[in-house]
A and B are shown apart, each in its own frame.
Chain A
Amino acid sequence: MFDATPSDAVGYVFSAYLFFLLMVLVYISILGAKFQRINRELGELIEELEAENAEPDAVVEAGVAVDSGSNAPRKESSV
């Protein structure tokens, strides 16, 4: 049977464990990047939603400003 020298054996063992640790680290960083992308997309959706909600508010506020000074009833935002 082939037998590696003791110093070779140490190199082989550490390279096996190092490969495993590096693989786990690479996998975790890929997962982290994926979560960041999901988080970014979620943020974009929230911003879109906020923009959609802000538009009707702006219209309502403009309407209230025009009506102020008159006896017209105040418009209430339905949003």
Chain B
Amino acid sequence: MPYSTFSWKTETGPGSRFNMTGRGLKTLSIATVLFLMAGFALVFLWVPMDADQGFKQKIFYLHVPLAIVALLGFIAGGVEGYRHLRTGDRRHDANSYVFIHISVTFGVAVLVTGAIWAKASWGYWWVWDEPTLVSFLIVFLLYCTYYPFRYAIEDRDRQARYASVFAITAGAFVPLNFMAVRMAESVIHPRVFATSEGGLPDSMLLTFLVCFVGIGLLWITLVKTEMVGKKVSGQVSYLRRRLHDDGSGGSVGGRIAPSVEAK
């Protein structure tokens, strides 16, 4: 079979195990794009301007869903870490790694969009005595240490176990931290949901929900795409070992990033 140039779907014989498209990934990608486009269209064309903040309040529909999805992703990473420790299945460790990886990326977007909103609203890029901002920064920096922590351990089994313990501990810290911030006296950061004033009007709530679903779908799509990459790179490593029979796993997938090995 002649090797052709890049294609997302690579057939290698019976069983077609090297399918780089992933199951349902195309549908998921289309749904993500549609929800994000619908959400942004609602933000800029339909939802009424906020009486207090005006146009700059529109950052809310991007910043808040990103923050919620990132925090939920951290918790999901902890759950996968727990499942890895329970079962010893390396796929859960790979899931945990990818969940945290994508959530850290979303965390960067949360911090940048938050800083832009803060500058527009308060005149400062950052306010150090605001518990919501500082607590998110602490969570983000905590998860940034996940990578050097993994790098520091050579043995793959120990690396996976310790990373799972980290994911569980840090994942448990996220809701505790969230509750502590909710109970703390806010200086200037707005409280929008479940407030005594009644929360968001219906049109804003609908727009927020569409954006939230769009951002959530984006997170799932990126996770699935990363997992397909890990699975295929694991299978390539397995093929290389079988072909050379020398025990070297190949370079695909990197040293710290766990790959899903073919059995």
Contact = CB atoms under 8 A, between A and B. Distances in A.
Contacts of A2: 121-124
A41 B120 contact: no
Given A6-B54, A13-B59, A35 B109 contact: no
B218 A42 contact: no
A37 interface: yes
A72 to B, nearest CB: 33
A45 B7 CA distance: 16
B71 interface: no
Interface in B32-67: 40, 54-56, 58-59, 62-63, 66
A30 to B, nearest CB: 10
A31 B240 contact: no
A52 B250 CA distance: 19
A78 B124 CA distance: 75
Counting chain B residues whose Cβ lies within 8 A of the other chain, the interface size class is 35 or more
B1 A46 contact: yes
Contacts of B239: 42, 45
B6 A39 contact: yes
A1 interface: yes
Interface in B148-204: 188
Interface of A: 1-4, 6, 8-10, 12-13, 15-17, 19-20, 23-24, 27, 31, 34-43, 45-50, 52
11 contacts: A2-B123, A3-B121, A12-B120, A17-B62, A20-B109, A31-B226, A31-B229, A35-B6, A35-B229, A41-B251, A45-B239
